[in-house]
Structure 1
Amino acid sequence: MAIPIQPDANGKTPVTQSLQDSTAIIQVIERAALNPEVDIDKMERLLQMQERVLDRQALMAYSAAMAAMQTELPSIAERGQGNNGAYATLEDIVDTVRPIMQKHGFAVSFRIQTQERGIQVTGVLMHQDGHREETSMLLPADTSGSKNAVQAFGSSTSYGKRYVLCALLNITTRGQDDNGQAAAPVKLVTSFQAGQLRQLITVCPAATQEWFVGKYGEAEQVPRSDFDKLRASLQKRARPDRQHH
């Protein structure tokens, strides 16, 4: 639970004082902008400073609102029932947190991207003053229970939204949420395995390197389940004249 920010003897919190200081800086910049004697280079530097100040203001407002909001966010009851036990449904989570988020100036949105390695769910938590934070989760399609492709996509997407939203808001559910085991996050290769793949890919033809980047991006993003087959494939494609003996 977040600790409330306490005001000083004058009734001001550190956030309030800093916002007032930032506002004073912006006022100085605005006055300079009206002065025809201020040269263009100096004006550009002042505008860059103003942008940094505004970003800092937005971050501080976000942090203060988040601290206040977290004191009101409850633990969500696990009322959903799945093959692996009880879990908090996305609907229950959203219905519970939405009015509290609105009260403190927050909103959330999601981006869903289908990749070769699975479904990536990204949650974006936005504050009314402009700052935002986001987090992502990569999931395989949940094909448990003889789901078709559409059902598998929907199951993994819902699972990802639940966990991403809980992560962004730092909220918990009552009990252990085991639902979605079939859609558990993809386990990636270890750092040692990633190093092996990097060494192999550097001695492969350019076409193979382009294919690797297009499919995985970088060695650290290779699913652990792909490692053995991928390593064997790269070893076959590696150019003998560039391999280290």
Structure 2
Amino acid sequence: MTTKSDTAAANASVTEALINVQAHLDPLRANATSHHGKFANLQGVMELLKPHLERNHLAIIQRPVASASGSCTLETILRHAQTGEEITSTITIPTQRQNDPQAYGAAMTYGRRYSLLCLFGMVTEDDNGDSSSYTLEKLLRELSAATSLDELQAIKNRHFDNNLLADRFWNGVYKILHDKKYATLSAISQVSE
């Protein structure tokens, strides 16, 4: 039987290397955009980690493992090159469409990215304040809260200037709500005059 203290002692080198990586990691900058906002993609995660992994003699192994149909299970192994010690984690991501290789690949990429973020305790920093935390719902709430045509235009300009609506579908949803809000505020403006 292996006790928790035996496991900790057996993985002392890989744990020490992981602590060293975490102590020297800079915040991860968002480098990609989706309809959910800005995020750091897998390439960005790996580019930030690579020099730290090399300096601390660490290797990352990520591989799919057997899982139930309609999901993707990924095993991530952090191995110390000099001692062979390792830390392992597993994550299961549901796929959007069953029996679809592209959906499986997307779930695998998503799982790889989040496994690394969690394993290394990485945090992301976006380019302009909290724009990466913007969801379509938050954008629509801001739009709905406008009380004048000038305010409505300023909100719309800020959303588009910060490239928060790059997805064509969400852009269409946004436009419908904007046009309705514009018509409402125009009608109120005309009554006030």
For the residue of structure 2 that corresponds to 1:99, the secondary structure is: helix
Could you say if the C-alpha distance between residues 122 and 56 of structure 1 is closer, same or farther in structure 2, counting changes exceeding 3 Å? closer
Name the structure 2 match of 1:165: 116
Q: TM-score, normalised by structure 2?
A: 0.56
Name the structure 1 match of 2:151: none
Task: For residues 49-72 of structure 1, give each alpha carbon's deviation from its aligned partner in whole angstroms, at most 9, with x where no partner exists.
Answer: xxxx9x776522222222222111
Amino acid at match of 1:174: E
Is the Cα–Cα contact under 8 Å of residues 71 and 94 in structure 2 kept in the other structure? yes
Higher CA-based Rg: 1
- Residue of 50, 59, 74 corresponding to 2:26: 74
Name the structure 1 match of 2:80: 127
For the residue of structure 2 that corresponds to 1:71, the secondary structure is: helix
Matches of 2:91 and 2:118 in 1, distance apart? 10
Structure 1: any 5+ residue segments left out of the alignment? Answer: 1-52, 179-245
Could you say if the C-alpha distance between residues 78 and 148 of structure 1 is closer, same or farther in structure 2, counting changes exceeding 3 Å? farther
Task: For residues 87-146 of structure 1, give each alpha carbon's deviation from its aligned partner in whole angstroms, at most 9, with x where no partner exists.
Answer: 110001101101111110111011213422511111111112121111111111134xxx
Task: For residues 169-188 of structure 1, give each alpha carbon's deviation from its aligned partner in whole angstroms, at most 9, with x where no partner exists.
Answer: 1111125877xxxxxxxxxx
Counting aligned pairs with the same residue, the percent is: 20
For the residue of structure 2 that corresponds to 1:95, the secondary structure is: helix
Name the structure 1 match of 2:53: 101
Size of the alignment, in residue pairs?
123
Is the Cα–Cα contact under 8 Å of residues 14 and 87 in structure 2 kept in the other structure? no
Q: TM-score, normalised by structure 1?
A: 0.45
Q: Which runs of 4+ in 1 moved over 6 A?
A: none
Name the structure 2 match of 1:149: 100
Query: How big is the shift at 1:161?
Result: 0.3
Query: How big is the shift at 1:148?
Result: 8.7
Is the Cα–Cα contact under 8 Å of residues 126 and 132 in structure 1 kept in the other structure? yes
Matches of 2:76 and 2:31 in 1, distance apart? 23
Name the structure 1 match of 2:176: none
Matches of 1:136 and 1:56 in 2, distance apart? 19
Is the Cα–Cα contact under 8 Å of residues 42 and 109 in structure 2 kept in the other structure? yes
For the residue of structure 2 that corresponds to 1:136, the secondary structure is: strand
Is the Cα–Cα contact under 8 Å of residues 30 and 41 in structure 2 kept in the other structure? yes
Could you say if the C-alpha distance between residues 154 and 86 of structure 1 is closer, same or farther in structure 2, counting changes exceeding 3 Å? same
Structure 2: any 5+ residue segments left out of the alignment? Answer: 1-5, 134-193
For the residue of structure 2 that corresponds to 1:130, the secondary structure is: coil
Q: If each structure's strand is expressed as a fraction of its own residues, which one has the higher value?
A: 2
For the residue of structure 2 that corresponds to 1:153, the secondary structure is: helix
Could you say if the C-alpha distance between residues 141 and 164 of structure 1 is closer, same or farther in structure 2, counting changes exceeding 3 Å? same
- Residue of 86, 89, 92 corresponding to 2:38: 86
